[in-house]
């Protein structure tokens, strides 16, 4: 079945499919959809989660063997497969097999970028659509963005004046994750009514060392400023996951831009809702970082995520390593340095 994102909550409250595909180019909405699925799976007894990064050279036999192996403690498991480029090196045969022949102790969750019409005719996609649920996340268009913000504010229990909504839309420039974080900060601060004047003061007070300022410094290749901002954010008690979310949002945007120029690049900027005054820093970053480096950064980001959730490792140390990785140059990376 195909589900719209707004249908997912009702679906999960009444049933749980054996497999889910979440695809799209909007990191916040994809993250929230995956979080909902994982939470419902945990409530249904799927206590383990095993994560697979299906990049170039990924061994699909490893996934197949894991799916068919008995868990040591007979726990039910979420098998989460992330495919950063949306391309299957085995033509999707493994996912098609796992979706068509679901094991009772496994729930398959596949996460990938937006899929074109050709990909949606593939056997693996059809198998997931037939046996489970497909959730395609479409970007919020620029003319829809203020209404999305208003709804998001209301969900957080905040009443905002139209001028305040317009200001927040202007300041966040279509970045849903940035907007969501600002709204959450307002909620935590106990603010219930948001005016333009209050928001101007609020954004001014929070703008100097916020997570997105740090992420911008990383895109600019400014390791000194980025590291300084990271230390300040830590001292201010900012959660590592908030900082990580800001940076991974930009890394995923860079992956959509990589390899494009001219009209293709202009279209990619439009699709990613990167407005003209932001584009210079992105152009600088894609000229400095290769696609391979960006995928390496996402793998490192997964380690930060796991550490921040108490699964081992120091999230702040890993964030520092990620900072070095993203601010590096192609020459620096090709010199033989490897990051764990």
User: What are the pLDDT digits (tens) for 158-199?
Assistant: 988 899 898 888 877 777 887 888 888 888 888 888 888 888
Residues 6+ apart with CB under 8 A from 209: 229, 232, 233, 236
Mean predicted confidence (pLDDT) in 323-330 = 84
What average pLDDT is seen over the chain?
83
Q: Is the confidence at residue 30, as pLDDT, over 80?
A: yes
Q: How far is CA 238 from CA 9, 10, 225, 231, 234, in A?
A: 29, 33, 17, 10, 6
Summarize the confidence of residues 69-80 as an average pLDDT.
72
Residue 332 has pLDDT above 70, yes or no: no
Q: Which residues have C-beta within 8 Å of that of residue 103, sequence separation ≥ 6?
A: 67, 68
Return the ∠ at Cα 139 (arms to 137 and 145), rounded to 5°: 130
- Number of H helices and E strands in the chain, helices first, is 17, 8
Q: DSSP letters along 5-53, please?
A: GGGHHHHHHH---SEEEEEES-HHHHHHHHHHHHHHHHHTTEEEEEEEE
pLDDT band at 37 (very low <50, low <70, confident <90, very high): very high
pLDDT at 91 exceeding the cut of 60:
yes
Phi first, then psi, for residue 109 (nearest 5°) are -125, 115
Average pLDDT of 72-84?
78
pLDDT average, residue stretch 77-82 = 88
Q: Is the distance from CB of 108 to CB of 99 less than 8 angstroms?
A: yes
**Confidence band of 335 (pLDDT split at 50, 70, 90):** very low
Domain boundaries along the sequence of the chain: 2-137, 142-206, 220-333
Q: How confident is the model at residue 66 (pLDDT cuts 50, 70, 90)?
A: confident
The per-residue pLDDT for 334 is 40
- pLDDT tens for residues 285-303? 888 888 888 988 989 998 9
What's the confidence (pLDDT) of residue 62? 82
Residue 209 is predicted with a pLDDT of 57
The average pLDDT across 54-81 equals 77
Name which CATH class applies to 142-206: mainly alpha
C-alpha–C-alpha distance, residues 271 and 143, integer Å: 13
Mean pLDDT of 243-250: 86
Whether 337 shows a pLDDT value over 60: the answer reads: no
Q: Which CATH number applies to 2-137: 3.40.50.300, 3.30.499.10, 1.10.10.10, 3.60.15.10? A: 3.40.50.300
In this predicted structure, the answer to whether residue 202 has a pLDDT above a threshold of 80 is no
The pLDDT value given to residue 134: 94
pLDDT confidence tier of residue 21, bands split at 50, 70 and 90: very high
Q: 68 or 150: which carries more pLDDT confidence?
A: 150
Among 137-141, 200-204, 265-269, 314-318, the range scoring the smallest mean pLDDT is 200-204
Structure-model confidence comparison of residues 332 and 15, the more confident one? 15
Determine the pLDDT at residue 205.
Answer: 57
Tokens of 290: 């290769």
What is the CATH code of the structural domain delimited by 220-333?
1.20.272.10
Per-residue pLDDT band for 339 (boundaries 50, 70, 90) equals: very low
Q: Name the DSSP letter for residue 218.
A: H
Whether residue 129 is predicted with pLDDT greater than 70 in this model: the reply is: yes
Q: Which one is predicted more confidently, 86 or 223?
A: 223
Share of the chain above pLDDT 90, in %: 15
Q: Taking the CA atoms of the chain, what radius of gyration do you get in angstroms?
A: 20
pLDDT range class, residue 74, cuts 50, 70, 90: low
pLDDT category at 34 given cuts 50, 70, 90 is: very high
Predicted model pTM: 0.64
- Per-residue pLDDT reduced to its tens digit, 130-153: 989 999 998 888 788 899 999 999
Cβ 24 vs Cβ 113: under 8 Å = yes
What token pair was written down for 204?
A: 């001014």
Largest pairwise CA distance in the chain: 59
């Amino acid at each position: 079945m195909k589900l719209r994102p707004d249908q997912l909550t009702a679906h999960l409250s009444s049933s749980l499919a054996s497999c889910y595909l979440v695809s799209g180019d909007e990191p916040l909405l994809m993250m929230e959809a995956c979080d909902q699925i994982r939470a419902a799976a945990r409530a249904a007894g799927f206590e383990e989660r095993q994560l697979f990064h299906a990049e170039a050279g990924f061994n699909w036999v490893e996934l197949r063997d894991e799916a068919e192996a008995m868990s040591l403690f007979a726990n039910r498991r979420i098998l989460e497969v992330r495919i950063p480029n949306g391309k299957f090196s085995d033509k999707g045969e493994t996912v098609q097999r796992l979706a068509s022949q679901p094991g009772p102790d496994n729930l398959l969750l596949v996460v990938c970028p937006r899929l074109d019409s050709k990909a949606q005719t593939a056997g693996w996609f059809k198998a997931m659509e037939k046996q489970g649920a497909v959730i395609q996340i479409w970007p919020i268009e620029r003319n829809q963005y203020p209404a999305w913000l208003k709804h998001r504010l209301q969900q957080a229990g905040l009443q905002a004046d139209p001028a305040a909504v317009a200001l927040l839309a202007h300041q966040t420039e279509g970045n849903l994750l940035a907007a969501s974080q600002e709204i959450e900060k307002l909620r935590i601060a106990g603010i219930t009514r948001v005016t333009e004047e209050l928001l101007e003061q609020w954004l001014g007070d929070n703008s100097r060392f916020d997570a997105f300022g740090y992420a911008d410094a990383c895109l600019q290749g400014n390791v000194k400023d980025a590291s300084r901002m990271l230390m300040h954010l830590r001292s201010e008690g900012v959660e590592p996951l908030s900082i990580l979310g800001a940076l991974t949002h930009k890394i995923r945007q860079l992956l959509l831009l990589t390899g494009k120029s001219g009209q293709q690049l202009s279209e990619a900027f439009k699709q990613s809702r990167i407005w003209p005054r932001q584009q210079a820093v992105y152009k600088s970053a894609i000229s400095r970082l290769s696609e391979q480096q960006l995928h390496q950064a996402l793998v490192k980001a997964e380690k930060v995520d796991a550490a921040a959730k108490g699964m081992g490792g120091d999230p702040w140390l890993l964030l520092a390593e990620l900072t070095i990785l993203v601010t590096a140059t192609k020459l620096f990376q090709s010199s033989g340095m490897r990051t764990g």
